Amino acid sequence: MNGLVAFIQQLFIWGYFLLVIGMAVRVIMRRLPVGVTLAWILVLIVFPYLGGALYLLFGERFLGVKRAQREARLRFVYLDSVPLSLPPIDWRRYHSAAEPLARLEAFVSGIDPVGGNRVQFIETAPAIIDALVQDINQAQSYCHIEFYIWQPGGATNKVVDALERAVERNVVVRIMLDAVGSSAFFGSKPYRRLTRIGVSIEKACPIGVIPWQLARYDLRNHRKSVIVDQRVAYMGSFNLVDPEFFKADAGVGQWIDVMARVEGPAVVQFDAVFRWYWQVECGTTLPDALPSAPAAAGSALLQVAPSGPDVAKESILNALLQAIYGAKVSVDIVTPYFVPGEALEHALKIAARRGVRVSVIVPEKVDSFLVRHASHSYFSSLLEAGVAIATYGKGLLHTKAVVVDDSLAFFGTVNLDLRSLWLNFEMTMIIYDAPTVQQLAKVLAAYRQDSSEVHIEQWRQRSALSRFIENIVHLVSPLI
């Protein structure tokens, strides 16, 4: 018996060393960012067997063989077919960082900036839902809808009713919802109502366990967009939920969101991205051809910037860094989940130290213990560098925006955490038009008035236990 126990102990010990060494080599050979690599190695050392399983499930951006093949084949089919006539852009009219930023994003995504657009920012859930219903009621050809979360019930039933009326007018409705985020919707009464009348509803990023299927639970489609007849597009942070009921028991208050309503040629680009991902997800060719591009509706120069694990690594992160390093006067950030990582942290600190006013607004309460403490672990170094941090107390501020010098902005679904920057399928609208950026800046200024500044002296007085928890969570923050 003693010999058997000793054998099992030796087997466990050798298994531990072989697993840690083997998985560590695999991690190192992936050439991930240093912080991410070290965090995974720490997890493998502390939890070797569990850590190895977690790495295989969550450590690599594996999209599945069949999906990757479809994506490679279709990536530019729709984007190249966008019927836009793009006049030369006089970049002297825009921020000095605008032209190199636009070139960088066009290199990554293949999508050029386009002018002639009009943007309206809608700031409350009732107003967003009413605007969606009004535009769906005017649909004549199709409605394309994409959300991370669609929670059935409440005010969202107005959208279901509008879609039913649209189908009665022979409008084609296609809906793409994240398989995990919208799991409550599938099988719900609204789902049955819509599928019964012929609405196509696809699960984005379905979970599979076999190699040719998407096998990572945390690679999610985090986009939120609606396109109606290529006449109007909506995009932003708002999930299709009724904030009065959504996560009401989470103790963080109602979720605060903004959606942008866009008219003009950029709508075609939003629609092209939807069509591209629809065909990647379901593998079927859409029957209707792209209609002609809409006429100019305003003067805003916009660039559609989809990001995700299927495009160049850190694509949206690099764009953000490019803009922050080009800031001259101010950088204003609003994000619900703030775990910036080393590159963004250094960019913000450098900007503050060279005299740029850097402001970060985050919710006072968030719905994740790990994210809350990981976020707090960055506060001290940022405050010491001169970055202003404020906490919003009137609900879970879910808007995601970065405004540079009140003349250049990022708006959409990207949180300033490594999950959004690396893993999720996201959608950003880069705004180069100063008057439109200033509209967004007013929204952020209103948030600031309802926020409390974090003072460095007070922050230093928090408990030793809080600091310890933050530092522990910081070690694995690259993985959150």
Q: What is the set of active-site residues?
A: 222, 224, 229, 398, 400, 405
How far apart (Å, rounded) are the C-alpha atoms in residues 334 and 410? 11
Give the chain's end-to-end CA distance (angstroms, integer): 44
Packing angle of the helix pair 189-196, 157-168 (nearest 10 deg) = 10
How far apart (Å, rounded) are the C-alpha atoms in residues 357 and 348? 10
Tokens 């070290």 found at: 38
Residue 456, class by beta-carbon neighbours within 10 Å (0-12 exposed, 13-18 middle, 19+ buried)? middle
Structure tokens at 269: 């680009």
DSSP for 293-320 reads: PPPP-S-EEEEEEEESTTSSTTHHHHHH
| Half-sphere exposure for 167 (CA within 13 Å, toward CB) | 17
Residues in the chain: 480
Asked if 262 and 232 count as a contact pair (C-beta separation under 8 A), the reply is yes
From residue 306, give the alpha-carbon distance in Å to each of 273, 414, 436: 8, 10, 20
Q: How many secondary structure helices (H) and strands (E) does the chain include?
A: 18, 19
CB atoms within 10 A of CB 82: 20
